[in-house]
Structure 1
Amino acid sequence: MSLSQEPGGKMKWLPWLVLLWTAVLSFLVRDSLDFRMNYPMTEQGPVKEGWFSVDPDGLYHARRLHRLMEEGAPVAERDSAMNYPEGARIPWPPYYTYALRGLTAPMLGGETESLQVAVERAVSSLPLWFGVLTSMVVALAAYRLGGAFAGLAAGTYHALTYGAAHYAMPGVGDHHAWVSLLAALMLLALSEGILRGALEKSRSAWLWGGIAGALAGLNLGSWVASLLYILEVQLLFACLLFVHARRSKPGLPALGLAFHLTALLVVMPAVFSSPWKEAFPWMVVNLSWFHATELGLGALVFVPLLALHPNPVLVRRYPWIVGAVLAGAGLLLWIADLGPAAGIREGFAWVSRADLFMAGIAESAPLLGSEATIPGGWGRWLGYGLMALMPAWLWVSLQCWKQRKEAVLPWLVATPILLAQALGQARFSDALSGPMALVLALAAAGLFHRLRSWKPDWGNPIPSLAVAALLWIGLIGMQWPAIAYGLDRCQHLEEDRASQSFWKLGAYRLLHEWLAEQDGEGAVLAAWDQGHALEWVAGRPSVATNFGSYVGEAGFLAPARFFTASDPKAAEEVLRRHQIGEVLVHSDLENTFPHLRNQVFSVESGQLEPPRWKASMVRQLMPLTESLRSGEGPQVDFLRLIHVSPFLDTTHRPRLSKDLGPARSLPCGWVWQRVAGARLEAEGSARATLSVDIRLRYPSGREYSYQAESVVGEDGLARLRIPYNTESLNGEAEVISAEWRFQSRRGRLIVREQDVLNGNRIKLD
């Protein structure tokens, strides 16, 4: 039985039909998972028309593209708005931004919208088409390797795979759909090249090796973790070296050399511009000389083969010689902790820090095991075909070996590596879905041809149409979790858009837009998931980022240290160090608190006990009653509340305590401003108490009372720090009344704005 069943010459339209079906299905699946957000609704309708994106990485890509359009080339490699005030290197290489610039140029020519809105929507729309193209690439590869049924099966399975669609939904602007497209094209180029004789003919080898290498270099220059996909190809070449040792493959040296040299040439501009190579010349997790060296060494492996071709003895021994030399050199470098070895060692350290800091991110969670918290689990993300993957892989591998079908090897080598990655981190489901769909399709095609030719004892052969229908139903059934999820989304899409869960995200967006309208100074501190929105929408520097420790450990930990602090002085010091102007508190911070607490407690292991919710700073900054004093801590006197979201988070369910009250009473967010605070002093007898009561009203209709008191000290003075002026607006807060009390006296409290901003002293007579 042949692994490949090519269609007849009279059916030249068949591949186009397979590709058309795949494209339409892939588009419909991704479009049904629409992740474009609407603004909150009021009785008069939506607050604002149009949609926006809440994908943090997509918003940063939009901002980087906008900077390229405003500032011109080259793409920015540093960002002064992150890790404020020090700034930070940008961990992403520049090629995806250049690709976005070229691809969005036709979409950004109109004058009907502001440039910023147009950029955001364009960046958040392209990944859908990357996902559709990836499905078509997988279908084409399967068609070329296994015939029409295999192409149709692979395209269908990939189109339905939620793990492949997750990064290609409308409204998501992340780079993963682009990266997976390039990875699939690279595998297609290698398999197509082998089909066209690249292992036998040098001319074909140089062509297809160069195409695959260019795609690899472009991918590495878009996302550094694409090195994993290059390692897959290098493992493929290692397998082919052993094949070459037994059966001469005269085109292999040219194929391997062309791949590595082209990849090196394509990625070198990004390496030269990388800001990481200066401080970390051999870093693995960001672009450095390590990646150029790795590709260069890969090219050198194939140079001797060009001269060894006439010598069969050395050719047979060459794979073992190469393995021994590389292993010995690597061991020496590792022991000496030099060059690339030092970069790999540092890479493991960075990975451990990423695990520590980023463990709460959904896409980093595994698909199997006790820590598998991904909604829908592996059944939705990869389909039940996962259970048949390894048997199918073994069968296809056996057929490949028997029939000497080296063209299937690129996909076979990639599958187990990506399977291990996807089961460990859900984000790699996208990359796995292509090879997985192809392997399952080739196995299904083999079963199809066997059943079609099988003649049972009790009658005639089973009709081909019946066999195809049976296998088709089985294929669709394997993706039932994803299909059911997509159908549910389609049925309730408008309800979802009008739901409180979606409105809440719109309310968060309005907080960012409100900040954009203010003349604030300094950075904004918030939970990590708000950072890129603050930088892009609010146009403000942030001390909140999901780039993790890439931006510097102190900057990444600052929000956790502030929000979990029970000591106001320690919390204020965090704000002072990072020159914070405002603090954004959103209604989901209670859910984020355990993650923030784990960050601080893990790093600052000298603490006797982890931070407590009720004593934390974040609890004090989520006022629900009329008093601005919340939780168990003292009154915060270095922040004033300048904005309260008019929208309520009715989806909130208290997790850590019941003191947050009913869900209907929880605003979606608060904005606090850091101020010096006026210094109020009163002279009196020992143990006399000075107290103030300032009542505030906000446009949202909420009223709060700021109350503070102080006892006369040994020097005969009672001192209070007042963060609110009483003569004008405090942001949006209007002062209804302001009163002081001391001993038997009371009076109207008068505090000017300059007193609050400059920390002026006010003495009560």
Structure 2
Amino acid sequence: MGRTEDAAWGERRPLAAEYGGKRGPKPAAPAPERRHWRRCLHWLILLGILAGAFFLRSLDARHVFDGDSVVIPGHDTHYHLRRIQHAVAASGRVPARDAWVNAPEGADIYWPAGFDLGLAALCRLTGAEPWSSGVERRCAWAIPVLGVGVVLATWWVGRLWRGPGTGLLAAALVAVVPSAISVSMVGRVDHDVAAILAATVAFALYLHALRSEARRPRCIWAAAAGILLGGNLWIWPGAIVFVLLAAAASVTTLLVDDTPRHRDAALYLLTAVAVVARALCTASASARPLQVSHLYLSGFHLVLSWAGAISPVLLFLVFRYAPRRPAPRLLAGGASQALLWGLVLFAVPGVWRALRGAQSFVGATADVTVSTTGEGIGLLGRGWPGVAGDLTWAAAGLPLAALFVLWRAVRPDRRAGDWLIALWLAIGIALALGQRRFAAVLAVPLALSVGGSWVWLLRLAAARRSAARLAVCCALGGALAIAVVRPLDRWRPRSVPRSWELRAIRPALDWLQTAAPSPGDSHDFGARPRFAVMAFWHYGHWLTYAAGQANIACPFGNTPQHQLGLDRSQAFFGARTEAQAADLCRELGVRYVLSPELPVPLLVKQAGLDPRHLRQQRCVATSLHLHRGLQAPERDGPLEHFRLVAEFPAAWPSGRPYTTRVFEYTLGARIVIQAPGQGDVSLSIDIVDLLAPPLHYRAAGRTSADGVCELRVPYDTQRATRRCQAAGPARVVWQDGTREARAELDIPDEAVRTGATIRCDLH
């Protein structure tokens, strides 16, 4: 016999026969010292890979940690931190509703609490004070540690699947893959990396169950994997994808190999998933807002979980009574699965529609999926463009990997886990094509597939002649250069702009938190704020966490209550008249408007205007930011209800100036001017700011025949604590061509905010 390798079941298989080599004498077993050094080298390489993975995920530390402050990149990360800070202060309680999100109504928070509670427990155990930068620092460093955990779990799966070589190669690829790095960078406090880690560890436990000889350890490993897969729904509702993957892999394996190993593993795995999912759904249904953590799972998750548990049971019954010939068994097993999932996808929703009044199954399923998971199966068909840039690293290895895992899965000498990796790769590709952030889900199975195919090619070359070995090694070297070296400089520019954008807007957020009037205690999720801040919906989490202000719209999306805030934000910035915007602010209790430069072209485009000629477009977004409130959308003249209160200059990464402006909504003082006769009247106020160019406000009108003119003015002339304030009293000038009258007028801030009347007599 030729050389041998370990099989998934523990038996020995001829290596030369598999790879095409010639038979020869059996080599002597390596000496114990040699085995020891090989083992030490293996662990040293693994430690080097883990250290390199942590180093790559920590390169952004200089952008995140700025002295005593922490600049957390991203948007969802800030709301995770808000909930973590609350959980640290409230002894592990995460509210189900937040009155400071989508004000004035507030909104339910459909994120599960597992990720936030886990980091909160870490902060409490390490002595971090609530609502402090210590919590932010601990959470920021926990993310690259979880990323290193994904690398280690990938090595574990690869080692169980095809041996130590595959494990090391797969771990090395995940350590440098841009999509895996992007979700586990230091400071990116989001649940993606935790969900991927839990799923990878669960699949490793499942492979352990398939490899176990004794029935009791096999069942224990499978049940542990099922508990972890079910509990992963507490981290991310979209983790139902991993449950479906486990069910599909188990059913496919049972259709091909009906063995006691597979039956035990599938039954205990999927039964544990269903039990945990049922418990989580029950906890979600009985959750009391503001007192216990909220899960926001739906019947959709429960139906799919129970269907996955029933699948192997149904196959067991079919195989027990079906003929022993392969063709009838496959036909009967496939028909049973088609019947089961047909009932799940059509009959069950039909009954649900009859009982609950749903409009249609497709609509109900899509609504439930999108509204409860936020991102998951319902978003596969409408993802973000540009995913190809995230997958360029796999151009050399993806076809080979896909062919390898499929070819290995259909061979008679297939291994445990071949179908799992193959289906994982297919689902990962579908998810990545649906939305770019899901490319991280693809990173692990793709690395395993590429690693397995490379190890197979290397062993094939070792069993062949030296020329073929040299050609294969050269091909692998070129693929490695394309797959690893090229994208190393591609992922960093994607993370730095998020941190830069927050740094550019951070002074405005700090001003809203420290200098602006307080809307209330933002740490109290149930306290209704006294007023809110209108902004582009992408900045909602920044306003709530970094500025302590209530937002009108936030980046949750995908549910009607959050979509309402997004529609209101678009309606405000796209309004064609100031009256429409003022009415919306009055209705929603808005006091401040945050207007950075970056979203202005998008807001103009959403208003149905041409963003290529911004200054010629008339809407509230351009009136506020481009004209600084000196040009109303519907007329030639300044805005009457919005005043510039703060302006913060910054710069784009290219060096071009970048400005963030903060406006305050007011009723505007009603200035009644009594002039000697009919003529033209103007009211001028010079507004100064130490860090911005001066603003010359000028409102104009014409007196009636009896010499009366009314103007609405949003600026006062008092020395206020605002950054932008009047340099002196207002100057009122009346002219009729032959005569002229002038006066100075003091406008109190109280009159501006309440709309009080101020009279000016020019006689």
TM-score range, shorter chain: 0.7 to 0.9
| Counterpart code for 1:760 | A
Contact 2:236 2:373 in 1 (8 A): no
Q: Which amino acid aligns with 1:588?
A: L
CA distance in 1, matches of 2:569, 2:581: 10
Whether 1:553 aligns to 2:559 is no
Within 5 A, what are the aligned runs for 1:166-565?
166-197=182-213, 202-243=215-256, 247-268=257-278, 270-274=280-284, 287-303=297-313, 311-313=321-323, 316=329, 317-328=332-343, 330-335=345-350, 337-338=353-354, 345-349=363-367, 366=384, 371-372=385-386, 376-380=389-393, 382=394, 384-398=396-410, 401-455=411-465, 471-472=476-477, 474-485=479-490, 505-517=502-514, 518-521=516-519, 522-550=531-559, 551-565=561-575
Q: Secondary structure at the match of 1:32?
A: coil
Deviation, 1:419, is 0.7
Structure 2 residue matching 1:261: 3-state secondary structure: helix
Q: Work out the CA distance in 2 between the residues paired with 1:511 and 1:473.
A: 49
Label 1:524 to 1:146 Cα distance change in 2 as closer, same or farther (>3 A). same
- Equivalent residue, structure 2, for 1:726: 717
User: Once superposed, what is the RMSD of the aligned Cα atoms?
Assistant: 3.9
Aligned-pair CA distance for 1:553: 2.5
Are the aligned partners of 1:642 and 1:732 in contact in 2 as well (CA < 8 Å)?
yes
In the alignment, structure 1 residue 748 sits paired with structure 2 residue 744: yes
* Maintained 8 Å contact 1:157/1:475: no
* Structure 1 residue 346: Cα displacement: 3.2
Matches of 1:470 and 1:706, distance apart in 2: 69
d(CA) in 2 for partners of 1:678, 1:299? 68
> Match of 1:638?
641
Tell whether the 8 Å contact from 1:619 to 1:630 is kept in structure 2 after alignment: no
In the aligned structure 1, how far is the partner of 2:137 from the partner of 2:184? 14
SS in 1 for 2:260: coil
Query: 1: distance between equivalents of 2:741 and 2:40?
Result: 95
Shift of 1:249: 1.8
Q: Who is 1:92 aligned against?
A: 111
Contact kept, 8 Å, 1:93 with 1:270, in 2: the verdict is: no
CA distance, structure 2, for counterparts of residue 194 and residue 96 of structure 1: 29
Q: Conserved in 2, the CA contact under 8 Å of 1:392 and 1:443? A: yes
Q: Aligned AA for 1:764?
A: C
The normalised TM-score by structure 2 is 0.81
**Counterpart residue number, 2:630:** 628
Name the CA distance, whole Å, in 1 between partners of 2:173 and 2:518.
51
Q: Is the 8 A contact 1:89 1:276 kept in 2?
A: no
Residue 586 of structure 1 and its aligned partner are, at CA, apart by 0.9
Structure 2 counterparts to residues 103-142 of structure 1, below 5 A: 103-107=122-126, 109=127, 115-142=131-158
SS of equivalent residue, structure 1 residue 543: coil
Secondary structure (helix, strand or coil) at the match of 2:417 reads helix
Q: Deviations over 1:43-72 (max 9, x none)?
A: xxxxx7544113111111100111112233
Indicate how the Cα distance of structure 1 residues 364 and 581 shifts in structure 2: closer, same or farther if over 3 A, else same: farther
* Residues 352/220 of structure 1: CA separation in 2 closer, same or farther (3 Å cut): closer
242 and 365 in structure 1: CA distance in 2 versus 1, 3 angstrom threshold: closer
Give the SS at the match of 1:91: coil
Q: 1:707 aligns to what?
A: 698
Corresponding residue of 2:588: 578
Q: Matched residues in 1 for 2:750 and 2:40: separation?
A: 77
Counterpart of 1:31 (choices 55, 58, 64) is 58
Letter in 2 for 1:163: S
Q: Which amino acid aligns with 1:754?
A: E
Distance of aligned partners of 1:411 and 1:142 in 2 relative to their CA distance in 1, 3 Å threshold: same
| Partners of 1:191 and 1:409 within 8 A in 2 | no
Question: What is the deviation of 1:703?
Answer: 1.3
What letter matches 2:238 in structure 1?
A
SS in 1 for 2:716: coil
Contact 1:36 1:170 in 2 (8 A): no
Match of 1:648 among 632, 635, 650: 650
Sort the Cα spacing of 1:172 and 1:565 in 2 relative to 1 into closer, same or farther, 3 A.
same
Task: Give the drift of 1:303.
Answer: 4.5
Structure 2: give runs of 5+ residues left out of the alignment. Answer: 13-28, 290-294, 520-530
Q: 1:418 touches 1:428 (CA, 8 Å); kept in 2?
A: yes
Deviations 1:199-234 (A, max 9, x none): xx6424421221111221221111111111211112
The match for 1:45 is none
Structure 1 residues 175 and 346: alpha-carbon distance in aligned structure 2, compared to 1, 3 A threshold = same
Give 1:311 deviation, angstroms.
Answer: 3.8
Q: Which moved more, 1:586-595 or 1:442-451?
A: 586-595
Q: TM-score, normalised by structure 1?
A: 0.81
Unmatched tracts of structure 1, length 5 or more: 40-47, 280-284, 602-609, 654-662
Cα distance change of structure 1 residues 745 and 520 upon mapping to structure 2, 3 Å threshold: farther
Match of 2:22 in 1: none
Kept in 2, the 8 Å contact 1:84–1:578? The answer is: yes
Determine if contact 1:276/1:286 at 8 Å carries over to the other structure.
no
**AA partner of residue 723 (structure 1):** P
Rate the CA distance shift 1:391–1:408 in 2: closer, same or farther, 3 A. closer
Change (3 A) 1:730 1:688: farther
Deviation at 1:502, TM superposition (A): 6.1
Deviations along 1:643-674, one digit per CA (max 9) or x if unpaired, are 111x3325579xxxxxxxxx44x5x2111111
CA deviation after TM superposition for structure 1 residue 632, in Å: 7.2
Change over 3 Å in CA distance of 1:502–1:264 after alignment to 2:
closer
Deviations 1:370-401 (Å, cap 9, x if unpaired)?
A: x4277x45315x56423433333333334xx3
State the distance in 1 between where 2:547 and 2:76 align. 16
Q: Which moved more, 1:707-716 or 1:524-533?
A: 707-716
- The SS at the match of 1:762 is strand
CA distance in 2, matches of 1:644, 1:226: 43
1:146 and 2:162 correspond: yes
Deviations 1:734-763 (A, max 9, x none): 311311223432211221121112111122
Distance 2:144 2:209 in 1: 28
1:676 counterpart residue number: 667
CA drift of 1:141 comes to 1.6
What is the deviation of 1:106?
Answer: 4.3
TM-superposed CA distance for 1:364, in Å, is: 8.1
Give how far 1:273 is off: 4.7
Structure-2 separation of matches of 1:32 and 1:23: 15
| 3-state SS of 2:94 partner | coil
Q: Give 1:181 shift.
A: 0.9
Q: Helix, strand or coil for the counterpart of 1:671?
A: strand
Question: Is the Cα contact below 8 Å between 2:575 and 2:581 reproduced in 1?
Answer: yes
Q: CA deviation at 1:516?
A: 0.7
Asked if the contact 2:177/2:443 (under 8 Å) is kept, the reply is yes
Shift of 1:526: 1.1
Q: Give the whole-Å Cα distance in 1 for the aligned partners of 2:371 and 2:260.
A: 46
Deviates more, 1:612-621 or 1:150-159: 612-621
- Residue identity opposite 1:696 in structure 2: I
